[in-house]
Amino acid sequence: MPIKFKALSYIYNKDMPYAHKALDHIDLDIREGAITAVIGETGSGKSTLVEHLNALLLPSEGSLEVLDYEIKAGEKQKFLKPLRKDVGLVFQFSEYQLFEETVIKDVAFGPLNFGYAPQEALQRAADALKMVGIKEDHFEVSPLELSGGQKRRVAIAGIIACDPKIIVLDEPTAGLDPKGSKEIIDLFISLNKTQGKTLIIVSHDNEMVYNYCDDTVVLSKGKLVYHGPTDELFADKEKLKEFNMLEPQIVSFRNELIERGFTLSRQARTLEQIAQEIAKQVKR
Ligand SMILES: Nc1ncnc2c1ncn2[C@@H]1O[C@H](COP(=O)(O)OP(=O)(O)O)[C@@H](O)[C@H]1O
Ligand SMILES: [Mg+2]
């Protein structure tokens, strides 16, 4: 069951003098089980696009299908709760949404709201907190006492605890240091690899996108301008120029090696993978 946008447009302040079309006639099929990046300049419509996935925004025109749910412009939504259980959305600066008096209560809120028994909700919350690297001695403190990075982890645990099928991340690492960013990204990649979660990641980090995302969607001024395999996009210098994008350093490095006579498979996209393949050729 792919995620399907059908001729979807979204207009902010519709029927007002300052109406603004933020998405313009989007036709897009996102693969289930894959990691898809959504990239594009600031204001291109990335957040507006992904906020349709859990019906936070409803289409002004057109429709979309997510799992078994169909959302059409002008129709009242009947299935918001199950949809929001199945599609977890981690906002940009999600830490501002913590509101309970303790960390564990905050993370258990989602599972409780979606009908898990209290004991199971707490267990899910504890498991999710451990996954994101929050230790047990922090469970009973107020979220306000945590550092920014820890708050972000708690907010992410709140989504993981609900066991969504699709996880949507809107710039999940914005403002985090490189080490914190890598840990968060590694966690989500492992949720994809081990549990088959569909990931949709809005990002400005082309290096990360190239390393980990199977497919990439590029938006420009509310229009879809590219959707396809990530490695094909980054191998296409014309397209990068057209979309005003820099070639990631890892791509330049790969190309230099190939020019110097090494053979690299299409899969070799991280430094570790490239090093492994080169090492084999050097040994011989
Ligand atoms: N609440 C809003 N009201 C009016 N216009 C908005 C609102 N949110 C976003 N926009 C406009 O819609 C366009 C797309 O915004 P957004 O989806 O946030 O882009 P991105 O996430 O790619 O930076 C931008 O021109 C932005 O200014
Ligand atoms: Mg945005």
Measured in Å, residue 265 CA sits from the centre of ligand 2 at 34
Could you tell me which residues are beta bridge partners of residue 30?
3
Task: Answer whether 40 contacts ligand 1 (Cβ < 6 A).
Answer: yes
Using DSSP's 3-state secondary structure scheme, residue 211 falls into helix
Q: Is the beta carbon of 14 within 6 A of some atom in ligand 1?
A: no
Of 49, 53, 86, which Cα lies nearest the Cα of 227?
49
Q: Which atom of ligand 1 is nearest to the CA of 40?
A: 22
Q: Give the Cα separation of 163 and 110 in Å (integer).
A: 10
The amino acid at residue 105 is K
Residues contacting 198, CB < 8 A, separation 6+: 3, 30, 31, 32, 33, 34, 36, 165, 166, 167, 192
Per-residue pLDDT in tens (0 to 9) along the chain, 284 residues: 789 999 999 999 999 999 999 999 999 999 999 999 999 999 999 999 999 999 999 999 999 999 999 999 999 888 999 999 999 999 888 888 888 999 999 999 999 999 999 999 999 999 999 999 999 999 999 999 998 889 999 999 999 999 999 999 999 988 888 898 999 999 999 999 999 999 999 999 999 999 999 999 999 999 999 999 999 999 999 999 999 998 999 999 999 999 999 999 988 999 999 999 999 998 76
Ligand 1 atom with minimal separation from the 41 CA: 22
